[in-house]
Chains A and B, each alone.
Chain A
Amino acid sequence: MTKQLIVEKINYFLVDEFEVEEEEIAPQANLKETLELDSLDFVDLVVAIEANFGVKLVGEDFLKIITLQDFYDLIERKIS
């Protein structure tokens, strides 16, 4: 899967399932703030990632994730 496709897929479900406004999506945007996530909401993200990419994320995966770019990179690493 190309990086471009990963980014598109993630952006698609952020808009579709997490009700993020399209114009808020930018690589440097803060993931937690953009999605208005509290710590429990990460469980929804885990489920969305599993459904879209077939990989299961664990708590530690999120420790270094600050921006959307970090998140794209994490998924790329996970599925490669």
Chain B
Amino acid sequence: MEEKKAAIKYALVTGGSRGIGRAVCVQLAKDTSYHILINYNSNKEAALETLREVQSVGGSGEIIQFDVVDAELVKKQLDAWHENHKEAVVEVIVNNAGITKDGLFMWMKPEDWSDVINTSLNGFFNVTNPLIQKLLVNRYGRIINMVSVSGLKGTAGQTNYSAAKGGLIAATKALAQEVAKRNITVNAVAPGFIRTDMTDALDEKELKKMIPANRFGEAQEVAHIVSFLASEKSSYITGEVININGGIYS
């Protein structure tokens, strides 16, 4: 009888090519033995740079292309990946892919509303749903959803983003209760102002006056909490939203 090979464990990070996603990939490579599955949508070069950084800290991984908005494509790509990695199991899912299309609600175009919801909220479904059955069968898993302080307190000019992230927070809490019995935890991480491409256009000097810590956060600071939640150490934390915002909201 053929001996059953030990499963190779992967952590999937959506939107892993840049910003917080990249920092999460590198931190997971440093702290855990997971192979990192780095998802990107359009910027392959940036995804490869993340992979190089993962490798430079002694980790290993690969890149996978899909737009989290496209449910059919996500499933197709993940099925194809599983077909080529029969011994692999995705044990950690970090739903990080997100976009902003800010503007006053009264001027907001319907596509600016739906694009943001489609990425942050529907993207969570499109990626997590095809993978959850395996987590349930394996009776172990970690799902971490990147949300935002906007999803908790709401941010003027970001009605769409606040709605998407608020919805994702509620989904986090509901799914956590559904799967807790099978040792699968589902948590959300809610960053405030973090220095990335997404916040590049913001006036940091002006905005930091409202932050008790008096500075923007670094992507790596967010990555540390994600890495903890992805580890076995966090086993009794589920359905939780962890703020990481320099004291701007609690």
- A-to-B contact residues, CB < 8 Å: 38, 40, 43-44, 46-47
Contact = CB atoms under 8 A, between A and B. Distances in A.
Contacts of B136: 40, 43
A47 B137 contact: yes
B137 A43 contact: yes
B79 interface: no
Main secondary structure of the interface of B (DSSP, over half): helix
B179 A43 contact: no
Interface residues of B, number: 7
B133 A43 contact: yes
Contacts of B133: 43, 46
Main secondary structure of the interface of A (DSSP, over half): helix
A65 to B, nearest CB: 19
Interface in B144-184: 178-179, 181-182
Contact of B181 (A38, A44, A46, A47): A38
A40 B137 contact: no
Contacts of A43: 133, 136-137
A38 B177 CA distance: 14
Nearest to B184: A40
**Considering the complex of A and B, which 10 residue pairs feature the smallest CB-CB distances, nearest first?**
A43-B136, A47-B137, A43-B137, A43-B133, A40-B182, A40-B136, A40-B181, A44-B137, A40-B179, A38-B181
Given A43-B133, A46-B133, 8 more contacts: A38-B181, A40-B136, A40-B178, A40-B181, A40-B182, A43-B136, A43-B137, A44-B137
